[in-house]
Structures are given as C-alpha cells and as structure tokens.
Structure 1
Amino acid sequence: MNTKYSDLIDQTYYFPQEEFTLEGSELRFHDIDLMELVKKYGAPLKFTYLPKISDNINRAKGWFKSAIEKHNYKGSYNYCYCTKSSHFEHVLNEALKNDIHIETSSAFDINIVEKLKQNGKLSNDNWVICNGFKRDQYIENISRLLNGGHKKCIPVIDNYEELDLLTEKIDSKFQVGIRIASEEEPKFEFYTSRLGIGYKDIVPFYKKQIMENEQVDLRMLHFFINTGIRDTAYYWNELNKCLKVYINLKRICPSLDSLNIGGGFPIKNSLAFDYDYAYMVEEIVNQIQLACEEAEVDVPNIFTEFGSFTVGESGGAIYEILYQKQQNDREKWNMINSSFITTLPDTWAISKKFVMLAINRWNDEYERVLLGGLTCDSDDYYNSEQHTNAIYLPKFKREKPLYIGFFNTGAYQETIGGYGGLQHCLIPTPKHILIDKDENGNISTKVFAEQQKASEMLEILGYN
C-alpha cells in the first residue's frame, strides 16, 4: 500500500526533477542539503542560491541565440534585468557577471546604477533602460546619469510631459524610447494599461515632439503586457499590433532600431509546470522577422526585461511546523513558525502559487492539511497548491519535527514584505542565507542578514 509522502509525490508528478532530488528521506534543492542548512542556521530561514540567477540568464540568451541563427535574423539580442524584482547587491552582482543590461523603474534605481558603476560592476557599455512614470527626482537622476557621460541610458517615455522635462535637464543629445499602452486581457478590470501612450497616438506624438527635435533621437519602442509572454491569441494579437506601430514609425524614423518586448517569462510554480521557452522565443523572433520582411523595413534589435525569470527561481524559504490544530472533522491546520503575510506576501496578496514540498520525513505517511501563519489575521494562510485546495504533508508528530520548503520565491517577496522594516503583527524577518557554488561544485553558505530583533522594530516605532 502506497501511503508514504514519497509515494504521493511520485504518483502525482515526474520526480526527481532537475533541481529537486531525494537523499534518503530528505529533499535536496540543486544538491543542497536543506536539512543541514536547518541544523546550521535554524528555521524560519530564507535563502538565495546565486548560481541559479546566472543559469537562467544564460538559458534565455541561448534560446535567443538559437532562434536568431535559425532565422538568419539581422538584429542583436540584449538581456536586461528588472531591478524591481530584487534590488539586493548580491543579486545584481551575480546577474552582471553575464554581460547583461539594466532596466529601472524609479528614481533610487539610478542611485544603485551609480553605485554599481563606482564598484566596477557596470560601465558606460551597459544599457540602462528607464521605465516608469517620471517626475522630479527620477528626471533629475536620469539627467545626471546622461550628463555624466552614460550615453547608453534610454528613458522610455511614459506620458506626454516627460520629454520636455528631460530636455530641460539634459545638456546634450540623447536617445529615448516610447512605451506602448497595450490593451489589457478581455477579463481584466480595465481596457487599456495606465502605462505608456496609446497605439494610435504614438506616430502623432513622434511627429509633434521628436521628429524635428534636434536634441532627441527615438531609438526604442517598448511593448509589455500584464499576462506575460504566453502562447495565447491575446499575446500574439498584441505583439502583431505592436509590430504595426514599429513598422509605421520605422518608415519615418531612421534612428529607431530597437524593439523592447518587455518581460513576463513565467517561472516554475509547481512540479507539474510545463512551458516551452525555446518555442516561444523562436516564434517571437519569427513573427518580428516576417512582419518586417513583408513591410520591407529592417528588423529591430530585440531587448527583453526579465525580472522574476532572472531571480525568482533562486529563492526559497524553510519553515518548521510548530503545531497542528484540528478545527473540525475535516480541517487540520499545520501552524508554521512564521507568517505568510510577512515572508511570502504574494501568497495572500495575489494568491500566487509557489513550489511547496516537505524537507524531511518523505518516508512517513501523509495527511491532508491547511497551512496557517502565526499572525492573528484570518488571511495568513496558504492552501493554494497547484491542483487542490489542500496540501498533503507527512503526518504531524510532535516528537518528529517536520520542515517544509517554499521554492522559487526569489522575486519581489522581500521588497513587498518590507525587508528590514515593520512586519505585520511584528513578526520578525527571518534569517537570510546566501548560497554559492565554486567551479569545482563545492557549496558555500554565509549569513546575509540575521533574524530581525525586537530592538530594531522598537527603534523604527520610536521607542528609543
């Protein structure tokens, strides 16, 4: 009779997988001994496995390289990292090992760019693509970067006033992009993105404000949709509309040579995850090439801005099951020693799913449970496993500690959760570990941040 947790996983998914393997009754992630991490550092615990950042960057660059070679595409490919997904220095340091570029979204991003340049991590050869709605401080910082000689900085125009604001502050000729205000998916709450300029307004805007402006060259058209890059009629329809705008602009704007197709590659949120990245990249390159050939215009250089795809699959969180509460005849609540609201805010804010697995006791019998956090908030729970409304874990036994892991949590969770600041119900931020691997495959770990102390929170609250 197959009643063990390992039997359940084996029957439900293809297992083991590239990053997940089993050693006896304990889970390994990229061959990292997770229980050894728990023994050394305790739980709750957050970790970042740095090599996965470089791995995903080079996977994407490989897909585009193959597609460009297959179709004899004459444009180049440029990989940009969206800093908003994770601003931490260790993330940027790892990402920038791989000949990539940067996309920013607010004023202080430029301060990070300047710090990276001071430290020799970025140079004037790296593109800095500046998105977002720009007002005083952001305009000031972008202008400072350009006036300081970083000519490969492209502010992407989001509204009609930004060009004038930039022109007033920038001393020399500079390049800009224009963001398309794409139409949202039919089931969305509104029809058109608040970001960018509408399809039909872009060519008139170019003719009115840029065409005769000797200080400005239009270099890039920027396209992004909320649902991300997916093989749907909606995505291909919006891309096709974007290409029509690019072609119309290219015919009257010789300086336009780049198409930024934004980001939105999905990351693994279940052991059943299935997405053909190589096919999507090949088809995108093919569609751009076909449209440009038919219109008899040069194909653009392609830019992408991958945030979650870059850093998401590098992150994880480990919790201990503290206690089990039998609330009625069919609901058992396993209480974790932290809070979902504070450590994985996307689980309650947007019902985001992560890969969730037991860390130990895979040879024990399993049971159906719900997972609850420590706060007194009714929304502090997780029950959204990919195919069910409940979660199956090894049976709770007080004398046999059970640890669980959430994986691919590396994007947004720290910043949305208010890293280093106040947490809901004053639940402290867990200890955070950085994991690296050398050229010989030897794994090393170090503490990036200790668990938050009461004194740190009291100081923020004014109890000095």
Structure 2
Amino acid sequence: MNTKYIDLINQTFDFPQDEFKVDKGQLHFHDIDLMQLTKQYGAPLKFTYLPQISNNIMRAKKWFADAIEKHDYKGKYNYCYCTKSSHFKHILNEALKNEIHIETSSAFDIDIVERLKEEGKITNDTFVISNGFKRAQYVTNIARLINSGHKNAIPIIDNYEEIDLLSQEIDGKFNVGIRIASEEEPKFEFYTSRLGIGYKNIVPFYKSQIANNKKVELKMLHFFINTGIRDNAYYWNELLKCLKVYTSLKKICPTLDSLNIGGGFPIKSSLAFDFDYEYMVDEIINQIKLTCEEEGVDVPNIFTEFGSFTVGESGGAIYEVLYQKQQNDREKWNMINSSFITTLPDTWAINKRFILLAVNRWQDSYERVLLGGLTCDSDDYYNSEQHMNAIYMPKYNKDKPLYIGFFNTGAYQETIGGFGGLQHCLIPSPKHILIDRDADGNLTTELFAEQQKSEDLLNILGYGIEKKDTRTKTASLSENVT
C-alpha cells in the first residue's frame, strides 16, 4: 500500500515539476536544496530566488513577440513592472536587467524612480506609467520627474480634476493616459471600479478637457479588471468594450497610440495549476487587431503591467512544525514557529492559497492536519490547499523535525505584512535570504535581513533608548523656548 508522503503527491499531481523535485526524501526548488538552506540559516525564513524574476519577464516577452509576428501586428510591446508588488531594490535591480518599464501607484514610488535614474538603472527612455488617485504630493513628484526631462513619464488620469492639478505644476506640454473604470463581475458588491473614468464618459471627457488643451496630449488608454486576465466571457466582454472606446477615441484623437491592457496574469498557486499563457496572449493580440481593422484605425502599441507575475514565483517561506495539538478525535493542529497573519497575510485577508509542500521526510507516512500560527488570534491558521480538501503532511514525530514550505509568495506579502515594522502579537519577522546565481550558474545566498529582535520592536513602540533620547531632547528644547 502506498502510504508515503511522496506517494500521495505523485498520485495527486503531475510530479516532479519544472521547479520542484525530490532528492533523498528532501524537496528542491529550482535546484535549491531547501534543507541545506534551512540548516544554514535556520527557520522560520523567507527567501527570494532572483533569477525567476528574469525568467518570467522573458517568458512574457516571448509570448507577445511570437503573437505579434504571427498576426503581423504593427504595434510594439512594452513590459512594465508594478512596483507595488514589491518595492525592494533587489527586486527592481533584477527586473530592470530585462529592458522593462515601470508602473507606479503613489508619491513615494517616484522617489524610487529618481533614485534608479541616479544609479543609471533607468533612463529618460524608460516609460513611467503613473496610476492611482493623485493628490498633492503625488502630483508634485510626477511634475518634478517630467520637468527634469523624463518625457516618457505618463500619468494615467483617474478623475476629472487631475488634468488641472498636473497642468499647474508641469512646465510645458505633457502626455497623459486615461484609465477606464471597468465594470466588475456580477458577484462583486459594486458594479463599477472606483478607479478611472466610466466607459461612456471617456470620449466626452477627452473632448472637454484634452482635445483643445494645447498643454496636454493623450497617448494611452488604460484597461484593467480586478479579476485579472482570465479565459472567460467576462474578460473578453470587458476587453471588447475597451476596444470600442479605443477605436472611438482614436478616430478623433490622432495622438492616441497606446493601449495598456493592465496586468493580472495568474501565477502558479497549486501543483495542479494549468493556464495557457500563450493562447491568451495570442488571442488578445488577435482581438485587438481584428477590432482595429473593422473600425479602420491603426493598431495601438501594447503595454502590460505585470506585478505578481513578475515577482510572485520568486518567493518562498519555510517554517518548522513545533508541536502537534490534538483538540478532538478528528482535528490535529500542527503549530508552526511563526504566524500566517504576519508573514503570509494574504492567506487570511483574502483567502489566497500558495503552493504548500513538506520540505523533508517525503519517505514517511502522512496524516491529515490543520496548520496553526503562534499568535493568539483565531484567524491565524491555514486549513486547506487549493486543489485538495485538506492538508496532508508527514506524520508528526517529536524526534524527527518537520519543515514545511510555502512557495510563490513573492508578491505583496512583505508590504502588506509591514516589513521591518510591528507584527501582530509582536511575533518577529523572520530572516530573509536572497538567492542568486553567479556567472557560472552556481547558487549564491545572501542574508538580506535578520529576524527581528525585541529591541527593534521596543524602539518602534517607544520603549527603546532611541525614543527616550528623542523625548529628552524635545523636553529640553521646550524648556529653552519657554
């Protein structure tokens, strides 16, 4: 009878896979010996495998290049990275090796762009697409970037006031895009996205605020839906509605030459993941070309904004099972040495599932378990994997440590979790390891951040020496003023 953990995985999924294999009962991820990594740095730990960022960028570029060639499409393709998925310098440095562009969403993003320009990582030829609801500081920073000579900076208009706000601070002529407020899926609590301008209002908006405005030139129409790019009736219907707006605008606005189809490429969240990226890209290019030909307008240059797809599959987290609690005759809780709420916040905030596998003991028999975090919060648990009704792990044995890994966690978890800041129940953030390859293809590791210490949290909370010194100086200053 096949009762080993490795038998369960082999019977349930097509395994091994490109990034996963098992050697001597231990899991390897992109040929990284995860147990060796764990022995070197300890658990809990998070890691980023930098080469996967470039791998995914180049995959997407090839899909679009192939589709453009196949359909004799006359427009160009531009890959943009959404910085909000992960703002870390090591992420941007890796992504920018691949001749990509940047999408920003807030004021401080522009500061990052300017720092990257100072370091020669991007130039004035790099497109900087600025989304989001813009108010004072964001407008000021965008204007500063454009006034410095970055003519490929394109703020995407999100509401009716932004043209005036930008015009007040930008010297001379500047380019803009308009975001479409797409309609949401019927299951949503609201009908239309809060972002952008409604389908029916875009042409009137262009006529009233841009057409006769000598300072502003419309270059881009921006389309994005919350569910991302999916092969379903909802996505294709929204894309066709977007294309109708584009062709209508193009007929009265000759400067419009680009269509931003947003982001939302899904990433692998299960070993049973199956998504035909090539087909989707091919059909998107085909639909755009057919619609433009029917309407007698030139096809647009295509922009995409891939955040999770760029960085998500580069990340992982490894925990140790500390103890098993059997709370009744059916439920066994494996307690990890960290917290899901603090380290993988999407698991409880939006019920997101990541690939979950044992790191070691693949030759041992398995059991059904629930996973619990260290906080005293009832939501700090992980109880199912997307394509299974339960979690199965090698049987708990207090004399044989068990390590588990969550994979493709590289997007959003650090920023949502508040990297370097306070954590729920003061559970410390785990250490973070950067994994790369040298010129010869050999793996290299670097400790990016140590696990948080008590003094790190105490300083934030006001209990530390640094805070006391600041208060003393403030009191002294007040006395002098008095």
TM exceeding 0.5: yes
Q: In the alignment, which residue of structure 1 is the partner of 2:450?
A: 450
1:255 Cα deviation from its structure 2 partner = 0.3
Structure 2 Cα separation of the partners of residues 115 and 32 of structure 1: 32
Residues 190-269 of structure 1: pairs in structure 2 closer than 5 A: 190-269=190-269
Deviation larger for 314-323 or 434-443: 434-443
Q: In the alignment, which residue of structure 2 is the partner of 1:384?
A: 384
Residues 433-444 of structure 1: pairs in structure 2 closer than 5 A: 433-444=433-444
Residues 33-182 of structure 1: pairs in structure 2 closer than 5 A: 33-182=33-182
Structure 2 Cα separation of the partners of residues 156 and 388 of structure 1: 41
AA in 2 matched with 1:380: D
Structure 1 Cα separation of the partners of residues 449 and 389 of structure 2: 34
1:441 Cα deviation from its structure 2 partner = 1.9
Secondary structure at 1:188 match in 2: coil
What do residues 208-227 of structure 1 show as CA deviations (whole Å, max 9, x unaligned)? 00000001100000000001
Q: When the two structures are superposed, what TM-score results if normalisation uses the length of structure 1?
A: 1.00
AA in 1 matched with 2:180: I
Q: In the alignment, which residue of structure 1 is the partner of 2:471?
A: none
* 8 Å Cα contact 1:433-1:445 kept in structure 2: yes
Residues 16-31 of structure 1: pairs in structure 2 closer than 5 A: 16-31=16-31
AA in 1 matched with 2:417: G
What do residues 48-100 of structure 1 show as CA deviations (whole Å, max 9, x unaligned)? 00000000000000000000000000000000000000000000000000000
Give the RMSD, CA atoms, in angstroms.
0.5
What do residues 114-142 of structure 1 show as CA deviations (whole Å, max 9, x unaligned)? 00001111111100000000000000000
Structure 2 Cα separation of the partners of residues 205 and 84 of structure 1: 28
AA in 1 matched with 2:415: T
Residues 279-290 of structure 1: pairs in structure 2 closer than 5 A: 279-290=279-290
Q: In the alignment, which residue of structure 2 is the partner of 1:3?
A: 3
1:244 Cα deviation from its structure 2 partner = 0.2
Query: What fraction of aligned residue pairs are identical, expressed as a percent?
Result: 78
1:386 Cα deviation from its structure 2 partner = 1.3
Structure 2 Cα separation of the partners of residues 387 and 307 of structure 1: 24
Structure 1 Cα separation of the partners of residues 276 and 199 of structure 2: 29
Q: In the alignment, which residue of structure 1 is the partner of 2:352?
A: 352
Q: In the alignment, which residue of structure 1 is the partner of 2:475?
A: none
Structure 2 Cα separation of the partners of residues 319 and 158 of structure 1: 42
* 8 Å Cα contact 1:342-1:429 kept in structure 2: yes
AA in 2 matched with 1:221: L
Q: When the two structures are superposed, what TM-score results if normalisation uses the length of structure 2?
A: 0.96
* 8 Å Cα contact 1:218-1:256 kept in structure 2: yes
AA in 2 matched with 1:223: F
Structure 2 Cα separation of the partners of residues 296 and 390 of structure 1: 54
1:384 Cα deviation from its structure 2 partner = 2.4
Structure 2 Cα separation of the partners of residues 169 and 463 of structure 1: 43
* 8 Å Cα contact 1:82-1:306 kept in structure 2: yes
Structure 2 Cα separation of the partners of residues 208 and 76 of structure 1: 30
What do residues 20-52 of structure 1 show as CA deviations (whole Å, max 9, x unaligned)? 011110000000010000100000000000000
Structure 1 Cα separation of the partners of residues 338 and 356 of structure 2: 15
* 8 Å Cα contact 1:54-1:95 kept in structure 2: yes
* 8 Å Cα contact 1:157-1:178 kept in structure 2: yes
Structure 2 Cα separation of the partners of residues 207 and 331 of structure 1: 63
What do residues 235-294 of structure 1 show as CA deviations (whole Å, max 9, x unaligned)? 000000000000000000000000000000000000000000000000000000000001
Structure 1 Cα separation of the partners of residues 14 and 65 of structure 2: 30
Structure 1 Cα separation of the partners of residues 80 and 49 of structure 2: 20
1:177 Cα deviation from its structure 2 partner = 0.1
Secondary structure at 1:240 match in 2: helix
Structure 2 Cα separation of the partners of residues 308 and 261 of structure 1: 15
1:229 Cα deviation from its structure 2 partner = 0.2
AA in 2 matched with 1:323: Y
1:172 Cα deviation from its structure 2 partner = 1.2
AA in 2 matched with 1:157: I
Structure 2 Cα separation of the partners of residues 120 and 318 of structure 1: 35
1:403 Cα deviation from its structure 2 partner = 0.2
Structure 1 Cα separation of the partners of residues 429 and 118 of structure 2: 30
Secondary structure at 2:129 match in 1: strand
Secondary structure at 1:288 match in 2: helix
Q: Which runs of 5+ in 1 are unaligned?
A: none
Structure 1 Cα separation of the partners of residues 76 and 124 of structure 2: 18
Residues 300-315 of structure 1: pairs in structure 2 closer than 5 A: 300-315=300-315
Structure 2 Cα separation of the partners of residues 249 and 429 of structure 1: 49
1:184 Cα deviation from its structure 2 partner = 0.2
Secondary structure at 1:371 match in 2: strand
Structure 2 Cα separation of the partners of residues 439 and 367 of structure 1: 43
1:358 Cα deviation from its structure 2 partner = 0.2
Structure 1 Cα separation of the partners of residues 463 and 151 of structure 2: 47
AA in 2 matched with 1:313: E
Structure 2 Cα separation of the partners of residues 307 and 249 of structure 1: 28
* 8 Å Cα contact 1:351-1:384 kept in structure 2: no
How many residues of Structure 1 are paired with residues of Structure 2 in the alignment? 464
The yes-or-no answer on 1:404 pairing with 2:410 is no
* 8 Å Cα contact 1:341-1:424 kept in structure 2: yes
AA in 1 matched with 2:44: P
Secondary structure at 2:11 match in 1: helix
AA in 1 matched with 2:152: K
Regions of 4+ moved over 3 Å:
none
Secondary structure at 1:57 match in 2: helix
Q: Which runs of 5+ in 2 are unaligned?
A: 465-482
1:383 Cα deviation from its structure 2 partner = 1.1
The yes-or-no answer on 1:423 pairing with 2:423 is yes
The yes-or-no answer on 1:32 pairing with 2:32 is yes
What do residues 289-316 of structure 1 show as CA deviations (whole Å, max 9, x unaligned)? 0000010100000000000000000000
Structure 2 Cα separation of the partners of residues 77 and 439 of structure 1: 29
Structure 2 Cα separation of the partners of residues 429 and 164 of structure 1: 43
Structure 2 Cα separation of the partners of residues 34 and 255 of structure 1: 52
Structure 2 Cα separation of the partners of residues 386 and 211 of structure 1: 49
1:390 Cα deviation from its structure 2 partner = 2.0
The yes-or-no answer on 1:296 pairing with 2:263 is no
